[in-house]
Structure 1
Amino acid sequence: MSHDHAAEPSPSDCADFLDQIVYFIDNELDEADCTVVRAHLDSCNPCLEKYDLQRTVKSVVARSCAESAPADLRQRVLLQIRAVQVEIRKG
Structure 2
Amino acid sequence: MSDCGCEKARRDLEEYLRHEVCKTEHSDIAEHLENCAGCRDEALVARTLTEVVARACKESAPEELRDQVLAKLRAVQAAH
TM-score, normalised with respect to structure 2: 0.71
**Which residue of 1 is the match for residue 53 of structure 2?**
61
Q: Give distance in 2, aligned partners of 1:33 and 1:19.
A: 12
**Which residue of 1 is the match for residue 42 of structure 2?**
50
**Which residue of 2 is the match for residue 82 of structure 1?**
none
Tell me the amino acid that sits aligned with residue 13 of structure 2: I
2:12 counterpart SS class: helix
After TM superposition, the runs of 4+ consecutive aligned structure 1 residues lying more than 6 A away are none
Match of 2:33 among 35, 41, 48: 41
TM-score, normalised with respect to structure 1: 0.63
Tell me the amino acid that sits aligned with residue 23 of structure 2: E
* CA RMSD between the two structures: 2.0
Q: Give distance in 2, aligned partners of 1:20 and 1:70.
A: 38
> Aligned-pair distance for 1:71?
4.4
2:6 aligned with 1:14: yes
For structure 1, list consecutive stretches of 5 or more residues without a partner in the other structure. 79-91
2:23 aligned with 1:31: yes
